[in-house]
Structure 1
Amino acid sequence: MHYPCNCLKEVIKLRKQDKNEREKRESLLDLYMRDGHGIAGAGEGGVMQAG
């Protein structure tokens, strides 16, 4: 199976982070994605829309 290079780089970057710090960042990101407020151009689920 082949993965895009940018995805592999992101995984490596996340694995290098401290586990507690990574979990804190992930929970904040999840909160922002569910809320969608404060994200310019956010569509359903906080996903950015091309435009």
Structure 2
Amino acid sequence: MYRYQVWLSIDEVDDEGELLKTMNTTKLEDYPTFEEAKALESYIHSLLGG
């Protein structure tokens, strides 16, 4: 089994770019094959524009 973990941080900043608040989330997904876990990684990268 392969586990894919996504960690996301969303920062709230003011007009000058100073940090006001950070919100973190973690998502774990288990997949039976490496190919399925890798497909999720590719999908997430495409959503982020990378």
TM-score normalized with structure 1 length: 0.35
Specify which structure has the higher proportion of helix: 1
Specify which structure has the higher proportion of strand: 2
Higher relative contact order (CA 8 A, sep 6+): 2
